[in-house]
Structure 1
Amino acid sequence: MPPPLVSFKDHTPGQGQYRDSAVYRRWLEGTEGISPEEAQRRVETLVAERDTRIGHREIALGRLAELAAQGRARLLAHDPVTAAEIDVAVANGVAVAEFATTTGAARAARERGLRVVAGAPNVLRGGSHSGNVSAAELVAAGLVDGLSSDYLPSTPLAAALLLAARGIVPLPRAVALVTSGPAAVAGLADRGALVAGQRGDLAVVTVERGWPTVRTTVTAGDFAVPAGVGQ
């Protein structure tokens, strides 16, 4: 089995997903029902607290880099924004750019040999909820290896079919974004495609009124031979 996936991230306003801190402030206002002034104070507090602990980032990333070099962790860089951030990730043994927030970051990741993950909810929403690059745009540019469910587990299948229905990519490529692509992202070489010698995991899906429903699944475990049988 491959090593566990470890994603390192920093969601402090002013960088990454929330490089426009106003987006984070509006999120606080909406989810917590607080005033714009209180939300701004909260943002400033978060940034100030992060500044007092920023040194721990290098310590933690250094330890993760050691684990990656030892083959004990597969690292994902979360919400990269720039090519420079991708370079830092590569220097620390990162294998995957997770939710690149700009086309530039996704392209840099691809050029440096990293796998690229985008969010399936982003595809279904028609764009990022925090104003970052559209996942469909990255898919169309050939810069995505796999779609992640992110915060909504039901989205990958629907996102793949939507990409195909809109002609952004052919259906086989769209399906690969939620099968062989994620398998490669996770370092799983024994599954993700219907190839002799690999796991035979299948899902039977119907589409009614534009929305998919999984009718049944068949996994490799369904065909496991009990111990002692046939021996």
Structure 2
Amino acid sequence: MSAATSDVILERMMSLHPKIIDLTLDRVWRLLDRLGNPQEALPPVIHIAGTNGKGSSLAMLRAGLEGAGLRVHAYTSPHLARFHERIRLAGDLIEEDTLTAVLDECYAANAGAPITYFEITTCAALLVMSRVPADYALLEVGLGGRLDATNVIARPALTMITPLSIDHEQFLGNTLAKIAAEKAGILKRGVPCVVGPQQEPAMEVIEQRAARLGVPLIAQGQHWHVGQEHGRLVFQDETGLVDLPLPNLPGAHQIENAGAALAALRHLGLGEAACTSAVTRADWPGRLQRLPEGAITRAARGCELWLDGGHNASAGAALGRHLAGLPARSTHLVCGMLNTKDVSGYIAPLAEQAESLTAIAIPGEANTLPPETLAEAARASGIEATTAPGLTEALKGIAAQAPGARILICGSLYLAGHVLRENG
């Protein structure tokens, strides 16, 4: 079958519900029941929520489990270049024929009833993962936690909450405590939860819910510690200390993300081989990624080209810290963002590192922020800013004015996906 086959079915699914995001579990439970409740036939599930780092922590956790010789399913979102990236079956990306068949089956079972794109594709992922033998299934929350379509596992083996910050306020609330309450909705009675570093208001909410449900917390700063010493990652929990290489995923923030993955692996009883694999073999495209040779890099004409899909204030702060630690080089941003994001909060931490910002619209995105609005926010943060009609024009303009510079394309996972598809 052609790659367009699954694309056609996915496009059809987009018309089933007028709202892109509509948080409730009623439609998911209805379809899962029609499908025979596949969520009850999954291998042991590790359910991961968070604002920042959940994807990276999942990637490291998967690398660690696979390094121990285990078969691992994974469900993540959004995809960057192709939908197939969202579903891994026993380590491999889902094949086109398998994806087409399971999407068609879910579409038929839904029988035209209202259901969001994310809900029906999540049901498809759970269905196909229930049919392929594996040792673990890793589920990444799409949005929030309490009412997310992935929150249908009665008793996972483990849950995880990575660092929380303000994001998606229109759906989750405008305070850290409200957001934490939604994220902590994945906690299940008696099921241990690994907790990454949290601000105090978020940690208080997580601890209160954990106490009500009898959830043993495995929390950073209390039950485990992680840091960098002499160019190595040092992790310590109640069972001892592990000295490991630094994560292969770039960025100082990956130390803490690795800590959460290591805490989970150690809780599951896995040893040093799994821990080493977690920090040396993880793959997570579009996050502080140095772009390989391709159509986009050729447009940059010899500049050092990087890509990052972070899009909130915490991601901007992590990116700023990473840029500060790189060898000195003229650094310029090409940025596109959605109009639902905290633009100033994201850009402000980058002001000291970037000499300029070129704002562009995200291709194909109706909710893209107008480039001039983005440029105005950059100027207010002290960055010299301009606009360009597209990515190629932005890259060529920077390369002409600053030959050999470092260019970072940033601001949105949707923009990152466009770059990866176009680069080839």
Flag the structure with more relative contact order, 1 or 2, with Cα contacts below 8 A and sequence separation at least 6: 2
Give 1 or 2 for the bigger CA radius of gyration. 2
Sort the TM-score into its range (normalised by shorter chain).
Answer: 0.3 to 0.5
